[in-house]
């Protein structure tokens, strides 16, 4: 199967189960909302070492936020519903509450919730108060600039992590241009985020290593400098650079749609093949067939 002159490999991306939350950060200006979101999503590219994955989902018009101020939506995923509350408390407390003029609201309506504002309120040292605003229970925590507002509980839900595309190009320039275009197209899908820098991975990994202390190591099959000793014929001779895009989503449909858009955006001059990473079912239960996604036959 091809899109234009780019081959789409007959394979699948293997993804895994996660738990997700959406945080709506508002501020007096876009500048401060963006600053809080950037700080909150730092060191959040991979559960391998970061213990969570997070990124900005989108910006929100002030007309559509709980307090009618400019907003940013952040998605934060962890491997367990038991650990997500702690990550929310730590990151909102250290990165959003500390940022001038900000507030933090829940962005997911769910039967399963975790206490976030209900725990951060203790920073108020007994001076905090609770109010119900527009049906939301909000904690007003006194801080030096005035008050920090945060919702009492945040909804969490099952999510999907590790959807991916691997882009093989004839040069670093062509491969990176294609990956950048794919990343931009994929980020337009609601309910997904790309956790790596600008959505593009320059050092994709495989599960395991020859070193016992490493749980993941360089994906040698796709390293051009190892073509003669480790590729096992996987990497065509005319491929000089490979980039990966990892996509996480609140549901399977969002991940599939992002991958579909990404493949179409990446299929361009200089791109030999688009494939995906899978590990024989060892990583997770989701298997996203590239051909089925392109054909629109995935249920």
pLDDT in tens, 96-131: 999 999 999 999 999 999 999 999 999 999 999 999
- Of 91, 124, 157, the residue that ends a domain is 157
CA dist 21 → 81, 136, 192, 199 (Å): 10, 17, 12, 19
Q: What is the pLDDT of residue 266?
A: 98
- Of 90, 125, 157, the residue that ends a domain is 157
pLDDT in tens, 147-200: 999 999 999 999 999 999 999 999 999 999 999 999 999 999 999 999 999 999
Say yes or no: 185 and 282 in one domain. Answer: yes
235-250 average pLDDT score: 96
Task: Between 283 and 224, name the one with better pLDDT.
Answer: 224
Read off the CATH number of the domain in which 222 is found: 3.30.70.520
pLDDT at 29 over 60: yes
Cα 78 to Cα 213: distance, rounded to the nearest angstrom: 22
Q: Which residues does 199 contact at the CB level (< 8 Å), separation at least 6? A: 179, 182, 183, 184, 186, 187, 245, 246, 247
Q: pLDDT class for 40, splitting at 50, 70, 90?
A: very high
6-30 average pLDDT score: 97
The top-scoring range by mean pLDDT among 41-50, 126-135, 232-241 is 41-50
Instruction: Locate 76 and state its tokens.
Output: 């934060």
pLDDT in tens, 249-270: 999 999 999 999 999 999 999 9
Q: What is the pLDDT of residue 230?
A: 83
pLDDT in tens, 43-97: 999 999 999 999 999 999 999 999 999 999 999 999 999 999 999 999 999 999 9
Q: What is the pLDDT of residue 43?
A: 98
Say yes or no: 62 and 153 in one domain. Answer: yes
Task: Between 228 and 218, name the one with better pLDDT.
Answer: 218
Contact 11, 1 (CB under 8 A): no
Number of domains in the chain: 2
Q: pLDDT class for 299, splitting at 50, 70, 90?
A: very low
Say yes or no: 268 and 283 in one domain. Answer: yes
Say yes or no: 75 and 33 in one domain. Answer: yes
Say yes or no: 171 and 124 in one domain. Answer: no
Say yes or no: 39 and 101 in one domain. Answer: yes
- Of 141, 157, 173, the residue that ends a domain is 157
Q: pLDDT class for 241, splitting at 50, 70, 90?
A: very high
> Containing domain of residue 38, as a range?
17-157
Say yes or no: 7 and 112 in one domain. Answer: no
pLDDT in tens, 62-75: 999 999 999 999 99
Contact 40, 57 (CB under 8 A): no
Q: What is the pLDDT of residue 233?
A: 75
Say yes or no: 215 and 237 in one domain. Answer: yes
Say yes or no: 36 and 102 in one domain. Answer: yes
Say yes or no: 177 and 268 in one domain. Answer: yes
């Amino acid at each position: 199967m091809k899109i234009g002159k780019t081959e789409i490999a007959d394979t699948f991306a293997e993804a895994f189960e996660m738990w997700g939350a959406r945080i709506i950060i508002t501020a007096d200006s876009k500048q401060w909302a963006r600053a809080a979101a950037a700080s909150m999503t730092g060191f959040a590219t991979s559960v391998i070492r970061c213990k969570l994955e997070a990124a900005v989902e989108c910006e929100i018009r002030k007309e559509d936020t709980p307090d009618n101020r400019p907003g940013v939506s952040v998605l934060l995923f962890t491997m367990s519903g038991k650990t997500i509350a702690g990550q929310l408390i730590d990151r909102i407390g250290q990165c959003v509450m500390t940022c001038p003029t900000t507030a933090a609201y829940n962005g997911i309506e769910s039967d399963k919730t975790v206490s976030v504002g209900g725990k951060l309120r203790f920073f108020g040292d007994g001076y905090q108060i609770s109010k119900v605003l527009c049906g939301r229970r909000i904690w007003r925590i006194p801080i030096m600039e005035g008050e920090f507002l945060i919702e009492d509980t945040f909804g969490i839900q099952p999510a999907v992590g590790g959807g991916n595309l691997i882009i093989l190009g004839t040069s670093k320039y062509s491969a990176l241009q294609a990956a950048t275009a794919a990343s931009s197209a994929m980020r337009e899908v609601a309910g997904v985020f790309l956790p790596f820098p600008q959505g593009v991975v320059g050092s994709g990994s495989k599960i395991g290593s020859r070193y016992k202390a490493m749980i993941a190591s360089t994906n040698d099959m796709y390293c051009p400098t190892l073509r003669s000793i480790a590729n096992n014929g996987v990497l065509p001779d005319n491929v000089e650079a490979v980039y990966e895009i990892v996509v996480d989503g609140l549901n399977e449909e969002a991940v599939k749609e992002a991958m579909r858009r990404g493949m179409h955006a990446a299929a361009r001059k200089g791109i030999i093949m688009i494939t995906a990473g899978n590990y024989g079912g060892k990583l997770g239960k989701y298997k996203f067939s590239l051909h089925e996604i392109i054909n629109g036959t995935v249920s």
